[in-house]
Amino acid sequence: MTDGDFERLYERAGAALRAPAPDEDAARDRLVKRIHAESLRSTTRRGNAFLPWWAALAAAAIAFAAGLGTGRATTSSRSSTAAPVASGAAADAAQRPIEFVFVAPAARNVSLVGDFNGWDASATPMRRTDGRTTWSVAVQLPAGRHVYAFVVDGDAWVADPQAPLAPEQWYGQRNSVVVVAASGDRRS
């Protein structure tokens, strides 16, 4: 390879590292909220004794509106899950595809078990992907909280290392929790 080839190699690596992280938007939003909160606490600017009254009012209005907007979206989401529970129906009947991924390069087979398939290890076998180190399956789930685990090689029940732990240990082992939001996003 020539020097020019190597230079292109480094630039290509640099470009690869410019890919945004999956949660970057949410982290950016958190930062902006902190900046606005900081502006309400701050009382000095460049030798001025205080922020102009109109600037402080504007900043307060922005922070208030941001809080209201979030509340409205969440209120509608919450009311959509307040279904009659006596019937046993899922709070939101619409199903959404949720992907489950488990890294187990040495496993011969992996199944997904959970409250959505009767914990039956034969119901939802997972498929090898990504160069044979990873197992995955996509399952249609209604919005709400679901408890699950992986069964490796037919008898080893394993919690998902990437997911929240379910607190209940009815049978001596922990499972994992996935929350499917009404919007269709997985929350873990």
Partner 1 sequence: MKTTTIVLACLLTASAARAQDARLRGVLDAETLAKVTRLTDSARVESLPVEPLVGVALEGAQRHASGARITKAVQDYLGALRGARAALGSDASVAEIASGAGVLLSGVNGDVLRQLRTASPNRSLTVPLVVLADLIARGVPKDTAARAIAAAARANARDDDYSALRRFVEQDIIAGASPAAAAMLRVRSITGVPPADEPVP
Partner 2 sequence: MTEEALVARAVEGDVDAYATLAERYYGSCARIARRMLRNDADAEDVVQDTFLRAFRAIGRFERGREFRVWLFTILVNQCRTAATSRKRRQQRFSDDETALDRATDERPTGIVDETSAVAAAVDRLDPLLREAFLLKYVEGLEYAEMATVTGAGISALKMRVKRACDALRPMLEAIYHD
Tell me the closest approach of the beta carbon of residue 126 to partner 2, in angstroms: 14
Q: Between the CA of residue 58 and those of 31, 36, 137, 188, what are the distances in Å?
A: 19, 10, 49, 35
Min dist. Cβ of residue 30 to partner 1 (A) = 6
Q: Residue holding tokens 């008898």?
A: 155
Q: What is the CA radius of gyration of the chain?
A: 24
Residue 35 or 94 having the CB closest to partner 2: 35
Beta bridge partner(s), residue 179 = 145, 187
Q: Which residues is 72 bridged to in the sheet?
A: none
CB of 12 to partner 2, least distance (A): 7
Q: Which stretch binds partner 1 (CB under 8 A): 12-20, 26-34, 46-54, 101-109?
A: 26-34
Half-sphere exposure of 148 (CA within 13 A, CB side): 29
Residues forming a β-bridge with 150? 112, 158
The option from partner 1, partner 2, none interacting with 98 (CB < 5 to 8 A, set by class) reads none
Q: Which residues bind partner 1 (CB under 8 A)?
A: 23, 26-27, 29-30, 33-34, 37-38, 41, 67, 70-71, 74-75, 77-78, 81-91, 113, 115, 118-121, 143-145, 147, 157, 164-168, 170-171, 173-175, 177, 179, 181, 187-188
